[in-house]
Amino acid sequence: MPDDHLSHVAVTLAGARPAHPLSGTVRIPGDKSCSHRALMLGSLAVGRTEIDGLLEGEDVLATAAALRALGAGVERLGERRWRVDGVGIGGFGAPEDLLDLGNSGTAARLLLGILATHDLTAFVTGDASLRSRPMRRVIDPLSLFGARFVTREGGRLPLAVTGARDPVPQTYRLPVPSAQVKSAVLLAGLNTPGETSVIEPQITRDHTERMLGHFGARVRVAPHPDGGKLITVVGQPELVAAPIRVPGDPSSAAFPLVAALLVPGSEVTLTGVGINPSRTGLLDCLAEMGADITRFDERVEGGEPVADLKVRAGALKGADIPPGRAPTMIDEYPILAMAAACAQGRTVMRGLAELRVKESDRLSGIAAGLAACGAKVSIEGDDLIVDGTGKPPAGGVTIESRLDHRIAMAFLVLGLATAAPVAIDDARTIASSFPDFVSLMNRLGAAFDGADHVAATG
Ligand code: S3P
């Protein structure tokens, strides 16, 4: 799972313009955020939780392995079906070995939240990407509860955490719009007497709050007088095992969705896609750009709204994307930038500072990759500006994926529209969030394959 034991195998992959339009109906794999949370909350509940639709990507498997090492019973029953035997809040034991969370920032930060109020010491690490990502954003609030951390320089992994024996509840105002930080604090609050609150000035994905309620925790969400929300969890509840159905991941759906927009004549249906309003910023942007996307059969599954989406190819125009929308589509900027590069006119994506601290520095990765493909692109401060000509850029390059699954998939999708193919140097990273990406896209008509023929390196 971590990069190291796979590093001797290079898996290059390319996408070229398909001979025919993309078409068909596909089910989108389970939501990564909800899958992590289902396993974690199931592990903290009393009793047996059955999960249907779990994403079986490497990030989620890393969470499953860590929870097992902490004492929960986590077992695969069949395709996408998992069973978790919980230990109850406060019931984890000290793991015997390092917890290796691979590429997953969500796994690392949410688990640190849980561990911060367990009376044990654990050692946490990840792959080269995760070891380079900032952990201070969770260490600072979790230290307020009484947890202690020893980290590598700069607050990076590997780190050791010793959870607080007598945790002190907190009210914490998020300094960055991050659902991971919010969730870490709320999860720390679970094993803390009294009430723990988070003030979020900008709304971020709310799967933790929803799922805590689903497991019987008392969670209050209220508007905050300064704007945004005040989220409060009442500590030391008994979480009761509850069945979970994981919705399809809108962040994964984004790739076949934009592919269908960019390949002329395409018409594709994506089923069971999560449409939680804290995740649908991309759909709003694409609608403003003129995309033909219809939602139908809207329903609620396992406490989350889902719908089927029908997408038809068509011309797109540039748009001005406000910074306030970023938390609702933070993982979708790579693929939105690909759409912008094929649109007519200027697209400005504002307020993207957080993109610099994702699995890679996505702001520079998108800009460098698009420039290598022949697009006109620039970064001004934290804004990304793409000037589209109404035609896809030339392509014909190999993009470095830098252990970043979304960069890899975004450029592969762009290659379905460019005149010359686009390749990525290492496709293995895609398995962290979308292990079926290639087969699902090829079922729609994409024909991704090995790419020895793409020469120039971007
Ligand atoms: C996630 C939150 C986001 C997102 C990540 C998943 C989550 O990160 O980028 O892929 O599951 O809470 P931030 O909350 O740090 O922005």
**Distance (Å, whole) CA 247 – CA 214:** 14
Residue with tokens 């500072």: 353
Greatest Cα-to-Cα distance within the chain, rounded to the nearest angstrom? 64
Tell me which amino acid residue 257 is.
L
Sequence-ordered list of residues with C-beta below 8 angstroms from that of 56, at least 6 positions apart, any chain? 29, 30, 76, 79, 80, 435
Q: How many angstroms separate the alpha carbon of residue 4 from the centre of ligand 1?
A: 24
Q: How many angstroms separate the alpha carbon of residue 396 from the centre of ligand 1?
A: 32
**Distance (Å, whole) CA 348 – CA 164:** 45
Q: 3-class SS at 16?
A: coil
**Distance (Å, whole) CA 4 – CA 57:** 18
Of the candidates 340, 327, 351, the one whose C-alpha atom is nearest the C-alpha of residue 251 is 327
**Distance (Å, whole) CA 143 – CA 382:** 30
Measure the N-to-C terminal CA separation of the chain; round to a whole number of Å: 27
Specify the length of the chain in residues.
458
Catalytic residue among 100, 249, 308, 331: 331
**Distance (Å, whole) CA 351 – CA 326:** 7
Assess whether 226 carries a catalytic annotation.
no
How many CA atoms, within 13 angstroms, populate the side-chain half-sphere of residue 81? 4
Write the DSSP string, 130-162: HHTS--HHHHHHHHHTT-EEEEETTTEEEEEEE
The pick from 35, 55, 180 for probing ligand 1's pocket by mutation, whose C-beta has the most ligand atoms within 8 angstroms, reads: 180
- Helix runs in 136-293, H state only: 136-144, 179-190, 207-214, 250-262, 281-288
What is the pLDDT tens value at each position of the chain, 458 positions in all?
A: 334 333 434 489 998 999 999 999 999 999 999 999 999 999 999 999 999 999 999 999 999 999 999 999 999 999 999 999 999 999 999 999 999 999 999 999 999 999 999 999 999 999 999 999 999 999 999 999 999 999 999 999 999 999 999 999 999 999 999 999 999 999 999 999 999 999 999 999 999 999 999 999 999 999 999 899 999 999 999 999 999 999 999 999 999 999 999 999 999 999 999 999 999 999 999 999 999 999 999 999 888 999 999 999 999 999 999 999 999 999 999 999 999 999 999 999 999 999 999 999 999 999 999 999 999 999 999 999 999 999 999 999 999 999 999 999 999 999 999 999 999 999 999 999 999 999 999 999 999 987 544 434 43
Q: Are strands 344-349 and 320-321 parallel, antiparallel or unpaired?
A: parallel
* Residue whose CA lies nearest to ligand 1 atom number 5: 106
The pick from 33, 41, 110 for probing ligand 1's pocket by mutation, whose C-beta has the most ligand atoms within 8 angstroms, reads: 33
Q: Starting from the edge strand earliest in sequence, which strands make up the sheet with 320-321, in order?
A: 320-321, 344-349, 383-389, 376-380
Q: Starting from the edge strand earliest in sequence, which strands make up the sheet with 99-100, in order?
A: 99-100, 121-125, 156-162, 148-152
pTM of the model: 0.96
Name residues contacting ligand 1 (CB within 6 A).
Answer: 33, 106, 178-180, 183, 204-205, 330-331, 354
